[in-house]
Structure 1
């Protein structure tokens, strides 16, 4: 058995697969920053730094080598399918929107036994997704897809995602939720060392909080867990929020709540002003390590070498774009249960 992970990023999906016993032989991504965390944390899995559109069928076949059972997985970059992006990009066949067509091209050329894809829920509204499903069905795959709540699979975060599963061997679907109650922020990060804004933990370079201006320090000090900037004194409310156009954005400049799941981690989850990313009680935004843990990465998952430089922008991108590890585990478990129930040889 062998799996290839397209658009692998820092390895969230791959790591989940490996933890569930699905061997991943390679991950492909265009971002060179993914190489270290992908290879450092995922055993023998090889990182291939390539544009997916340039990967040939022969190259993909070579990665699968002589595996008797092949799994093709991937999460095409989701920003083109987000609600925000829809206001600016309308043509689903060009640019990043077209990456799902490249996924379909590789699936058609290699005909793996099982295919899985993860993305934002709104991808289902677009022609490119319908074309992807139609392609798989015409090739003879049984296709299942639905929006799942990651918090019901052990991810301490409210993250709704579209998951697709397809098989040559009959009906396949996501396993039922594994958690009756979501994991909370408290359960995930309460044991980490306290920090001040701008401080870094001495033994973990990733446990570092971004700096805050004096104004934002004043703002977070008066912010309530689960509250909004509407709770602040008027002198602290930003001009953009005073305007009519800004009154509908209460989710920025907010603190998380200890006993609820975190909000969806984004590529800018390290910034207090970028969403509800304030620590529940410390006067700072969450650290990069806390964001990674809320994405269900293990506490010791290495994102940079010991002598590497911490870049909030780069690491925020790797963490925010990742498939949560525990969602990857649930997808892998779904594939394992399906394969155990069918005569695929």
Structure 2
């Protein structure tokens, strides 16, 4: 007896990897983006990758086939519907969010669940999703189908993810009340330094790539940005710079509140939220705490708690930093995914203490 699962909107496989680490038998991931195929299948054991649009190319029967197992097995549909329509970055542009084609994907998720009726459901998303009608409709449809639902906005450092990142985690079950497990880590001990110290990152100059790992590479910096980062203090702002290095926006009232871009991380604190452009020095507080560069692609993956050998592309020749940055920034942090998986397993064992639940 086991929990068999599929991962919808699977991306590079962060959610699947964490669920498998917890002991859940994930059989397949579904995503419309072809660049997800290599990282998903290369790093996750015994899984299929199905490329297609869940609202058009992939049938519910195809999804359900992956969940078919012994009659005593439990089934799980997991996923993270794309969060761009619900994020604070999108909400600043009302027209973009109202017209965004991805609004409907949560409805598609609900349709799949309502049709297949798995034992368990989990979804991870941005906290702002709870303020929008598609999420209310999603929960209503789950409740009408007989699911017990819990949702919680979590601070990622509480679950071992070294980022100042909040995420909404929904769990639903046909078998009784369900909750995400209590925090697994002391957040004061979950920092950039605590994570980087687990890996043997060589020092880099801006524009350099490690001989040992082509994903440990740092984007080049202009001469002006080199001067800026040399004047930047860990946790500081552009106010650390001399007048001649300020951007025009910094001299306007409207731009004075934007203090994170071009900033350095701090060793003894979590990183900022890893976005899809974390490799750009000017896109947020993505400067290395000590070296005069932005964090590398591999360091960004590390802050998302991917293993140090997680493969995102087959070779350096195929590397697109923009594409891999998107895969990493959009991923469910692996350690949070593992906590979700552990919560689902413990729920089944609590509801039926006699069950002989096997984990992979």
The TM-score bracket by the shorter chain reads over 0.9
- Corresponding residue of 2:290: 281
Q: TM-score, normalised to structure 2's length?
A: 0.93
Q: Who is 1:21 aligned against?
A: 23
2:154 to 148, 151, 170: 148
Q: Report the CA distance shift for 1:263/1:64 in structure 2 as closer, same or farther (over 3 A).
A: same
Return closer, same or farther for 1:92/1:111 CA change in 2, 3 Å cut-off.
Answer: farther
In the alignment, the residues of structure 1 paired with residue 33 and residue 239 of structure 2 have an alpha-carbon distance, to the nearest angstrom, of 39
What is the aligned partner in structure 1 of residue 121 from structure 2?
115
Match of 1:75 in 2: 80
* Residue 61 of structure 1, CA deviation: 1.2
For residues 134-156 of structure 1, the C-alpha deviation after alignment (integer angstroms, 9 at most, x for no partner) is 00001000000010111110111
Using the TM superposition, give the Cα deviation of residue 88 of structure 1 relative to its aligned residue in structure 2, in angstroms: 2.5
Cross-structure match for 1:50 = 52
Matched, 1:223 2:232: yes
What's the secondary structure of 1:72's corresponding residue? strand
Instruction: Using the TM superposition, give the Cα deviation of residue 32 of structure 1 relative to its aligned residue in structure 2, in angstroms.
Output: 0.7
The answer to whether the 8 Å contact 2:214/2:316 transfers is no
| Secondary structure at 1:205 match in 2 | coil
Cα separation, 2, equivalents of 1:308 and 1:64: 37
1:204 to 192, 198, 213: 213
CA distance in 2, matches of 1:251, 1:222: 14
Deviations 1:219-254 (Å, cap 9, x if unpaired)?
000000000111111110111221222111001110
Partner residue in 2 for 1:262: 271
Selected match of 1:174 from 158, 180, 183: 180
Shift of 1:286: 0.1
How far the C-alpha of 1:63 sits from its partner, in A, is 1.8
1:308 Cα offset (Å): 4.1
Question: 2:327 aligns to what SS in structure 1?
Answer: helix
SS of 2:164's equivalent in the other structure is coil
User: Residues 134-190 of structure 1, C-alpha deviation per residue, up to 9 Å, x if partnerless?
Assistant: 000010000000101111101111110000000000000100001123411111124
For residues 89 and 342 of structure 1, the distance between their equivalents in structure 2, rounded to whole angstroms, comes to: 44
Paired position in structure 2 for 1:31: 33
- Report SS of the residue matched to 2:216: strand
Matching residue within 102, 106, 116 for 2:108: 102
User: In angstroms, what is the RMSD of aligned CA positions?
Assistant: 1.5
Q: Take 2:280 and 2:86, find their aligned partners in 1: how far apart are those partners? A: 23
Number of residue pairs matched by the alignment: 345
Deviations 1:96-124 (A, max 9, x none): 01110000000001000000000000000
- How far is 1:79 from its partner? 1.1
Q: Once the 2 structures are TM-superposed, how far is the Cα of residue 341 of structure 1 from its aligned partner?
A: 0.8
Partner of 2:138, secondary structure, is helix
Q: Distance in 1 between matches of 2:206 and 2:120?
A: 46
User: Aligned partners of 1:194, 1:242: CA distance in 2, in Å?
Assistant: 34
- Note the C-alpha offset of 1:87: 3.0
Q: TM-score, normalised by structure 1?
A: 0.97
Alignment-derived partner of residue 358 in structure 2: none
Gaps of 5+ in 2: 356-360
